[in-house]
Amino acid sequence: MSKLAKLIAAFLLLSVIVLEPLSVTADSLEQTVVVDSPTLNIRSGPGLTYSVTGKLKDKQKVQVIDRSDDWLQVSVNGETGWIAAWLTASAKGASKEKGKIVSRVNSLNIRSSPSIESAVIGKLRTGDLASLVEYQGEWASIIVDGLQGWVHTTYITEVDADAPESSPESAKNPKVTDANLFTVKVNKLNVRKKPTQSSKRIATVAKNETFQIERIDGNWIQITLEGKKSGWVYSFHGELSSANSVTSNSSPDTVSIVTNGTNIRVQPTTSSDIALRADAGEVFKVKAKKDDWYEIQLNTGGTAYVAEWVVNSSNVSTTSAAKVPKKEKRVPGTLKGLKIAIDAGHGGNDRGTTGIRGNDEKDLTLQTAELLSGKLKEAGAEVVMTRNSDTYVSLRKRPSIAHSEGADAFVSLHYDANPDRSIVGFTTYYTKSAQQSFAQSINDGLAGSVDLHNRGTQSANYLVLRENQLPAVLIELGFLSNSSEERVLTSSYFREQASQGIYKGLLQYFDGQ
């Protein structure tokens, strides 16, 4: 081979070695994705067990430099990290502006700040629309007729900015702006002459007093006082309601069964004989309602009773069972395609146990549930919360919510207490033998994450487990009756580790199915 031919061959070989990798890198850098989540964690590696190194905001564009299964390696401000691919969208056409949200649940609390501990200043009902201002973590700032506040993103859906202001569903229910009553929720509240904190105080009202609303101006409410006088109060210190929003005693047209093998009874009591058993999706016409029971028309011609907490009600008559939406395919290694019900124990007038240091169980369970919800959603799961505020939910209603929402698993969160203050540790409970393997997986996940004594899995006759058809556990995350352990349990670090452990347990269980 001549000297010239050798030089040409060497040049071509060098071109293959050097230029081809450069072109691949260039192609990768041209791939841009947009964050499609209120916030998105940047992690040190391709998985949820890796540490968080940063955060991205919704609609933020980032360049992709590599991929590992469902994780993308991205470059942000010169630093690299990994993000969940299922929480991103293509950059093409991603410039569409957010404009409105719609409430997916009834009586959704609007709060004064993005925290479950802040005051309730209003409510949205199913189908109500509000203008979207911004996201902050798992909270959305909204405006509805001049009233600005925060709602939890679990219970809202974004809609187009040009969405109509009303819908058939919302037309049936009064909106928060239809509220005509204001109830004081603090011990004493100043009433002022004008809607400003610097205005003259003209009266003082007390907790649980209710007043007629004359006008709403932003975060101030004008109320009617005695003697036809009126004044302004700060809406953050009370709750709005409507005289028209009192629960109706009228019965729905039909009810649909939410769980296979539901008992239909001869009389409206759980001690009555069983007339028949119905399966999920079966629909019955309602004749009347007696307390927590519906009298339903049987296909055989007679009537029987079904409990309110095991059915879905409807005012739209139908002759066929409702179709169950097709679930997204489960993705191994993630929780994508699964729906998890999280049950924050206690709530409202049920405080649960109170620790030596004065911490109420109901507050800790809700804080833990919200943190766990964020982790599971980040892992691709849908999340159903049995409560998202400091409200009372009956024990029977809790598994019913999970069943009616089509959940794949049920996790009930609690904190323990014992007269013997030396007892410490976390415990994972199950009731049915079919729940035992699920409980073991959750317990294993927790044992690998939290630095507490592991009391293992134990069998107990808890109603939320006994009446549950799902893989279900009740977790006692430690003893508030032990002063040292209470100090640990009330830390944000512990809640972070506990929620991570529960996530790992869920992943272990479903990967093994």
| Of the candidates 39, 38, 42, 45, the residue with the CA atom closest to the CA atom of residue 63 | 42
**Three-class SS of residue 33?**
strand
Task: Write the burial class of residue 484 (CB in 10 Å: 0-12 exposed, 13-18 middle, 19+ buried).
Answer: exposed
**Burial tier of 255 (Cβ tally within 10 Å: 0-12, 13-18, 19+):** buried
**367 is written with which tokens?**
């804080």
For residues 305 and 34, what is the distance between their CA atoms, to the nearest angstrom?
Answer: 52
Cα–Cα distance measured from residue 438 to residue 175, given in angstroms and rounded to the nearest whole number:
42
Q: Which residues pair with 201 in a beta bridge?
A: 192
Bridge partners for 350 per DSSP: 347
Angstrom distance (rounded) from CA 258 to CA 469: 10
What secondary structure letter does DSSP report for 387?
-
Count of Cβ atoms closer than 10 Å to residue 263 Cβ = 18
20: annotated active-site residue: no
Work out the number of other CB atoms within 10 angstroms of the CB of residue 65: 14
Give the position of tokens 């409200």.
391
Instruction: Name the residue with tokens 């507050």.
Output: 363
327-359 b/e with 16+ CB inside 10 Å = b? eeeeeebbbbbbbbbbbbbbbeeeebbbbbeeb
Distance between CA atoms of residues 187 and 29, nearest Å: 59
Contacts of 513 (CB under 8 A, 6+ apart): none
Using the structure block, give the residue that is written with the tokens 């039909």: 254
Angstrom distance (rounded) from CA 476 to CA 251: 38
Residue keyed to tokens 């512990």: 494
Active-site position among 467, 476, 485, 486: 476
Helix and strand element counts for the chain (H, E): 8, 34
Active site members: 476
